[in-house]
Amino acid sequence: MKRLKIDSTVIVLGILLLVLVVGAILVGTVGRNFLSAGNIRDILTGMSVLGLVAIGQTLVVLGASLDLSVTYVISLSSLLAATIMNGNPGNIPLAVIVTLLVCAGVGLLNGLIVTVLKVNGFIATLGVGLILQGILNTNFEGSAGNVPWAFQLIGATGVGPIPVSTLIMVVLAVVVWVLLNRTRTGAHLYAVGGDPEIARLSGVRTRMPLIWAHVLCSVFAALAGLLLASRLGVGSPTVGQQGGYALLSIAAVVLGGTLLLGGRGSIWGTIGGVAILAVVDNVMSVMQVNPFLKDVVRGVVIVAAVAVYSRRSIVRRRPRFGAGGTRTGGDDAAKAAAPEMAAAVSQLADPTSDTTLPAEGGRS
Amino acid sequence: MNALRTLVSPRGAVFLLLVVLLVAVTILNPSFAEPGQFMRFLQRVAPIAIVAIGQYFVIIAGEFDLSQGSLITAQVIIAGNLVGQDDARTVPVLLLMVVFAVAVGLVNGVITTLLKVPSFIVTLGMMLALLGGVMWWTGGAATGNPADSFREIGRGGIRDIPLLDFLPWAVLLLIAWLALGIWITKRPLGKTLIAVGDNARAVDYAGARRAWATTRAFIISSLSASLSAVLLVGYAGVHPSVGRGYEFTAITAVVLGGVVLGGGRGWIVGAVAGAFALEALFMLLNIAGVPSTLRDAVQGVIIIAAVAYSAVAFRARRKRGPQPPPDLTTEEPAPTRTIHTNSTIHTETRGD
């Protein structure tokens, strides 16, 4: 595989660049500076909440599941945090911990329903989302709680033009990248998402990675909810639904080159996808596009951007051998065994169909 | 006994659920069993059931159609704005709606099959674009109240029938649409769609025109959504929130009916029964006095439980079912053949 690696992440970055250039020109025509510090700050702020949700969603989609309950988890998280804090800065640590634990519990429930009861992720998380909505509607009639100023600062401050919330999002993206590419759970998640049966036959416990993915997805949605609470100053039972985060995060994940069928994709592609959506939104806001027309443009951009690369189906497989691969040192062993393999193959009854076997093994 | 076994099997579970729900409703509200009341119930289910029929064709082919809800809203608003109080416009507008539906289905299908964009994303984009486009066109406030001749389709029916008392047009349309759907599942198109959902590559190798079959499934789905919109204009009126969430309700109904998400397995009558069960559930929650805020929660629990039951029951049945021959080497007179050919025979026998 010494060919030029044009994988989907590169294409996503290319599309992002294109969107940035077109956006800068469009914004320039109305006499505004696209690259001003204020505007960059707006774009990055717009990325942070959807980015957090999309990072979690990436994990679940890689495991060939979906999470439609994130919208309700976001609302739940913002309400829990705001009501526990209740304006008292001393309650912040407690509120954050309780919120994250409760939402992790929701994720655990999702994961168990998907893995143990074998309910399709779409239906399972739709159902859990409905349950959460019922609970929210029963217990809260409107905005509730009060977020102390100390916590609101997280959503309001920044380092230069970069908001703290975006920094948190990027740091967590790095953590998830490490999880996916440098840990056993990450490798198993790719395996289970690619083909659960083959993963099982290879000795992978197929349930654990997917349960972890669902738990982490809900925790990331909870973080997004905390961020929204810090921005709004109160908890709101509809903040998740208003943003349409479930479908938009899935769109961002697919925009980032992750296969909806699972098993292939990357976290940086997702961040790229989120950035594309944020830039498009920002350009439309600056140009004061009709809010309904915004939805039309958003829909067209999502479909068009995915269409650019999905037709060529060049989502790169994870390298199996060599540096960065899931199996190091395998190359030499395979090369050493090649002559024996060839000899064994030639003895088989049906040589025509089998000669391709070692070659295939060597290439992948 | 055999019927009982069918009812407990995953395929028949939805009918069992439906019967239980209807009996529960009748116990709590005895007047429900009267023909008039029951016809009203059927009339109320008709839009969801029709949307579920459309969604069924898309789901057995292994795709999703998330644009149904938005399409319903769009069609409702088109009807409201274009028909107006002019009876003469009813037929031309109906034709326009059909053309619009076919166009939406065609775009969904072509982008999914030819551009190879996942249908989840295509129809999500279509959902955003349709809703945004219609709202942009109307400025966010849907106005207009279509002529009575148009609303009659969803509201009216044949009155003063001896036994039934009242037979709504909606029920007749549902029956006709279901019959049409069953007919399509018997046709090559239906068979091809199930094959596509089961194994798309095999369909390609078999030489079937997969792209065109899938595209037609999307067109059927859009047409179903539009028919449902015509009915909804009748008794829900023109409002930008009509149709909201119908795509998820339809997918839920179809899955409740034993159709497998991902395609390849499912029965159209089950999908319709799923829609009926869902609506019966709403009604039961209503009659039982469950607070409206908790209804969502109960609905969520029941959906998960029903799908989990059929998934677990299906696995259990497969475990009990005829085991594939463990090892064929014993049956062969002389095991001279190599491991490779052995495994080929194994798969062949499993295919029987």
Q: How many CB pairs under 8 A join A and B?
A: 157
Closest Cα in chain B, distance from residue A118 (Å)? 6
How confident is the model at residue A154, as a pLDDT? 85
pLDDT band at B63 (very low <50, low <70, confident <90, very high): very high
Residues of A in contact with B301 (CB under 8 A): 127, 131
Residues of A in contact with B294 (CB under 8 A): 134, 137-138
- Closest to B246 measured CA to CA, from B263, B223, B269, B229: B229
Q: Which residues of B91-117 are buried (b: 16+ CB within 10 A; e: fewer)?
A: eebbeebbebbbebbebbbbbbbeeeb
Tell whether B127 is within 8 A of chain A (Cβ): yes
CATH of the domain at B299: 1.10.3470
Residues of chain A with pLDDT under 70: 1-6, 311-335, 345, 348-364
Residues of B in contact with A313 (CB under 8 A): 116
- Co-location of B246 and B282 in the same domain: yes
Domain borders along chain A are 8-310, 330-363
- Closest to B95 measured CA to CA, from B211, B6, B223: B223
Q: DSSP E strands: which ranges in chain B?
A: 157-161, 165-168
How confident is the model at residue B83, as a pLDDT? 81
- Co-location of B211 and B343 in the same domain: no
A126/B4: higher pLDDT: A126
Whether B348 shows a pLDDT value over 60: the answer reads no
Quickly tell me which residue has 């140009």 as its tokens.
A287
Among the partner residues B129, B255, B340, nearest to A123 by beta-carbon distance: B255
What percent of chain B stands above pLDDT 70? 84
A357/B119: higher pLDDT: B119
- Co-location of B332 and B248 in the same domain: no
Q: Is A156 exposed, middle or buried (0-12, 13-18, 19+ CB in 10 A)?
A: middle
pLDDT band at B342 (very low <50, low <70, confident <90, very high): very low
Domain count across chain B: 2
Q: How far apart are CA A222 and CA A107, in angstroms?
A: 10
Q: How far apart are CA B82 and CA A326, in angstroms?
A: 61
How confident is the model at residue B326, as a pLDDT? 47
- Co-location of B229 and B316 in the same domain: yes
How confident is the model at residue A257, as a pLDDT? 86
Residues of B in contact with A135 (CB under 8 A): 297
B226-270 tens-digit pLDDT = 999 999 988 777 887 888 889 999 999 998 888 888 888 888 999
- Co-location of B118 and B216 in the same domain: yes
- Co-location of B314 and B346 in the same domain: no
Tell whether B340 is within 8 A of chain A (Cβ): yes
Task: Give domain A8-310's CATH number out of 1.10.1660, 1.20.120, 1.10.3470, 1.10.260.
Answer: 1.10.3470
B125-167 tens-digit pLDDT = 999 999 899 888 887 776 677 777 777 777 777 777 776 677 8
- Co-location of B340 and B206 in the same domain: no
How confident is the model at residue A334, as a pLDDT? 64
pLDDT band at B306 (very low <50, low <70, confident <90, very high): confident
Residue contact B307–A250, C-beta within 8 A: no
How confident is the model at residue A320, as a pLDDT? 55
Residues of A in contact with B132 (CB under 8 A): 292-299
Angle at which helix B35-60 crosses helix B210-236, to 10 degrees, equals 150
Q: What is the CA radius of gyration of chain A?
A: 23
Summarize the confidence of residues B99-112 as an average pLDDT: 95
Amino acid occupying residue A187: A
Paired strand residues for B165: B161
Residues of B in contact with A289 (CB under 8 A): none
Residue contact A293–B122, C-beta within 8 A: no
Residue contact A307–B115, C-beta within 8 A: yes
How confident is the model at residue A262, as a pLDDT? 85
B189-198 tens-digit pLDDT = 999 999 999 9
Among the partner residues A132, A296, A306, nearest to B133 by beta-carbon distance: A296
The residue range of the domain holding B160 is 2-321
Q: Is A99 exposed, middle or buried (0-12, 13-18, 19+ CB in 10 A)?
A: buried
Q: How far apart are CA A176 and CA A199, in angstroms?
A: 21
Whole-angstrom distance between the N-terminal and C-terminal Cα of chain B?
28
Q: Please, where are the H alpha helices in B61-89?
A: 68-83
- What is the DSSP track for B121-156? HHHHHHHHHHHHHHHHHHTT-------HHHHHHHH-
- Co-location of B122 and B143 in the same domain: yes
pLDDT band at B101 (very low <50, low <70, confident <90, very high): very high
Q: Please give the C-alpha separations between residue B9 and each of A336, B13, B308, B316, B317, in angstroms, as whole numbers.
A: 54, 6, 13, 10, 8
- Co-location of B314 and B330 in the same domain: no
Global pTM reads 0.83
- Co-location of B342 and B296 in the same domain: no
Mutate to test the interface with A, among B14, B59, B63, B117 (most CBs of A within 10 A): B117
Whether B317 shows a pLDDT value over 60: the answer reads yes
Which of B55-69, B150-164, B207-221, B296-310 has the weakest average pLDDT? B150-164
Residues of B in contact with A290 (CB under 8 A): 136
Quickly tell me which residue has 């809703």 as its tokens.
B131
- Co-location of B339 and B190 in the same domain: no
Q: Which H helix or E strand runs over A159?
A: strand A158-159
| For B126, nearest residue in chain A (alpha carbons) | A299
- Co-location of B113 and B261 in the same domain: yes
Residue contact A303–B111, C-beta within 8 A: yes
